[in-house]
Structure 1
Amino acid sequence: MAAMKKLLISALVAALAVFFGHAFLKVKKLLLVNRELPMKPLNCHYLKNIEFGAEDITILRDGRAFLSTGLKYPGMPSFSDEPGKMYVLDLLHPKPAPVELKVKGELDLHAFNPHGISVYTDEADDSVYVFVVNHPNSKSQVEIFRFVEDETLVHLKTITHPLLHSVNDIVAVGPEHFYATNDHYFHSETPHFLTVILGLPLCDVVYYSPEEVRVAADGIQSGNGINISPDKRFIYVSDILDHDVDVFERQDGEHLLFIKSVAVGSLCDNIEVDHVTGDLWLGCHPNPLKLINFDPKDPPGSEVCVLLLFKMHNCVGMCNGLKNISCRSSGSRTFTPTSR
């Protein structure tokens, strides 16, 4: 009996040693502990009027950019107790300056907590719809606005659904139609930590329309940024924990067919697509440990990666590593390249 007990204890200790050893290696890989990022000084300047950075930016063909600011997110640093705000910025102006957008309609602005955003232009009447992921009081929902003159957003609709349980980012494909990424499967910390350590791909991409809501793609460790190709054929999803960008092709019925994964080598957050070339611009976190333990005296810095699109015989491919921009910023402001 004593020998059996000793054997069971030894087996338990060995199992725990294997688990914690695997966990250590997984966290080390996730946090990119051994990666060294060369610094590249950039000719940039801070944008005034935005003191606490922007979580997401999306750009129209005419050069106007929409920005979401003031996100409060569990486990991430927060720079202000004020509610979140939306801004618009004319990137073609010689001295671009963000302008805060007024919001009209039935929306609790005191609890406004904007995350990922997307813009859809209706070709029928040129109406511009702004989609915003919102986390009021730690909830997960999507707000749809119409952008009108005088820098105003008119709130049209709030969307909630059980499948939209931990939305991070969104890409609009119609006036009330979109794809959204979920970045968590479990909401409690312990099971979520275990899914990260074990590398379980439990997250998904959800398609929403007024007629149906369903999972369009799954098998993702943590879905973050999402965007669409200029020809509307491909959907791009950044799997921030897997350090890559997944490419999907839209199928009939708005199913997503997995095509390939492109390794980024960094924690890719948001994706913006060049309207002309189709290249992907990725906002990344080169040092996640510093991001979590944020110190304004020793900020984590930022990284911009570019995935260059190339076409050959009707096939679409991507290559990375050709362009890489890094910078050290305070993490609480937004900056733009300075014109030369």
Structure 2
Amino acid sequence: MAAMKKILAAAVVAAVAVYIGHRFLKIKEMCLASRELPVKHLNCHYLKNIEYGAEDITVLRDGLAFLSTGLKIFNMPSFSDEPGKMYVMDMLHPRPTPVQLQIKGELDLSSFNPHGISAYVDEADDSVYLFVVNHPQQKSQVEIFHFVPENTLVHLKTITHPLLHSVNDVVAVGVESFYATNHQAFANDVLSAATTLLGFSWCDVIYYSPNEVRAAADGILSPNGINISPDKRYIYVSNIMGHAINVYERKEEEQLQYLKAVAVGSLCDNIEVDHRTGDLWLGCHPNGKKLVMFDPEDPPGSEVIRIKNIHSDQPVVSQEYADNGHVLMASTVAAPYEGKLLIGTVFHKALCCNLK
């Protein structure tokens, strides 16, 4: 009997080891760890004043672009000890140049660590509100600012909630309401790493308003960037480890109904939407292993992917920019405006490119 128990125990251990080994291979596959990227450049120049990353960028219809910079998170490299900053620039200027935004109000700027951003324009008076994911001491909260031209953000509110435990990005749908992606299933890093290793799709999208906070969509492997269609009917979520963009329709009480996933073949981070065409522009990581295991001799590359006609039966997915990391490392966002394209990164520089 004792011998039988030992044999059974050994079999169980062997089976678990095989399963874990299989999952590690699957993670390597999901990270696109063996992918090498041929370059495909545009006519670009580095943006002035941006030296330590512009993780997210969003552009208003009038050409004002907002940039969040200096993110320190996820064991990513960081080449500055300074807190994060916000910038604004006018895309209609012949040589757009980022200008640092002055932040006023009761916000601890010494621990400001901005991540995903979203702008909301109040149709009643054209006031601009900027929503910024902030990670002070690696926590997750959302800051709401009022933008005062030319270069000031007035802090209005800090939003925290147990359901907003690992926020990556937000898309504003009102003066105080938004959808947010949780890129981890739990606030605990160890538990979240275990769920990723085991392949559990337990992450969600949270809807927040002053009146209620709840999951609007769930069952997602690794939600990252989020944005909204120009007509406000659809929400797009980047399932980064699934190499796909999920499409949802907004329903009653702000629930999100899953419609489909569009394969993109890369680890796509933030999503920007062309106001005129509705095309999706994605800043992507072509090789996740190079991003996590940073080596300056073999740096993580950058990739920009565009999706046309995403609601059709045959969306057109195209690569618009690609670099092996020697010009631009670790791209996270690509924001188009009137023939120009801004490309931001986790911790490196940012580019302004001509599309025409």
In structure 2, do the counterparts of structure 1 residues 317 and 115 end up closer, same or farther at CA, with 3 Å as the change threshold? farther
1:63-100 Cα deviation digits (max 9, x unpaired): 11100001111222222111000001212221111000
Larger deviation: 294-303 or 175-184? Answer: 294-303
Q: Which residue of 2 aligns with 1:214?
A: 214
Q: Match for 1:157: what amino acid?
A: K
Q: Match for 1:293: what amino acid?
A: M
In structure 2, do the counterparts of structure 1 residues 137 and 310 end up closer, same or farther at CA, with 3 Å as the change threshold? closer
1:214-267 Cα deviation digits (max 9, x unpaired): 110001111110000000000000011111110000001111000001111111
Aligned length: 336
Does the 8 A contact of 1:262 with 1:318 survive in 2? Answer: no
Q: Which residue of 2 aligns with 1:198?
A: 198
Q: Match for 2:194: what amino acid?
A: L
> Cα offset for 1:2?
4.0
Does the 8 A contact of 1:228 with 1:236 survive in 2? Answer: yes
Distance 1:192 1:310 in 2: 31
Distance 1:229 1:60 in 2: 14
TM-score scaled by structure 2?
0.90
In structure 2, do the counterparts of structure 1 residues 56 and 109 end up closer, same or farther at CA, with 3 Å as the change threshold? same
Does the 8 A contact of 2:168 with 2:180 survive in 1? Answer: yes
**Structure-to-structure mapping, 1:16-165, within 5 angstroms:** 16-165=16-165
Q: Which residue of 1 aligns with 2:228?
A: 228
Q: Which residue of 1 aligns with 2:188?
A: 188
Aligned to 1:132, what secondary structure does the other structure show?
strand
Does the 8 A contact of 2:33 with 2:288 survive in 1? Answer: no
Q: Which residue of 1 aligns with 2:350?
A: 334
Aligned to 2:54, what secondary structure does the other structure show?
coil
| 2:315 counterpart of 1:325 | no
> Cα offset for 1:62?
1.1
> Cα offset for 1:310?
5.7
Structure 1 segments unaligned to the other structure (5+ residues): none
In structure 2, do the counterparts of structure 1 residues 159 and 78 end up closer, same or farther at CA, with 3 Å as the change threshold? same
Distance 1:56 1:223 in 2: 15
1:158-201 Cα deviation digits (max 9, x unpaired): 11111111110000011011000000122334322221122111
**Structure-to-structure mapping, 1:277-288, within 5 angstroms:** 277-288=277-288
Q: Which residue of 2 aligns with 1:248?
A: 248
In structure 2, do the counterparts of structure 1 residues 117 and 38 end up closer, same or farther at CA, with 3 Å as the change threshold? same
Distance 1:272 1:185 in 2: 24
Does the 8 A contact of 1:296 with 1:330 survive in 2? Answer: no
Distance 1:278 1:303 in 2: 20
Structure 2 segments unaligned to the other structure (5+ residues): 331-347
> Cα offset for 1:19?
1.5
Q: Match for 2:77: what amino acid?
A: P
| 2:298 counterpart of 1:302 | no
Distance 1:320 1:78 in 2: 35
Distance 1:249 1:242 in 2: 20
Aligned to 1:137, what secondary structure does the other structure show?
helix
RMSD: 1.7
Aligned to 1:28, what secondary structure does the other structure show?
helix
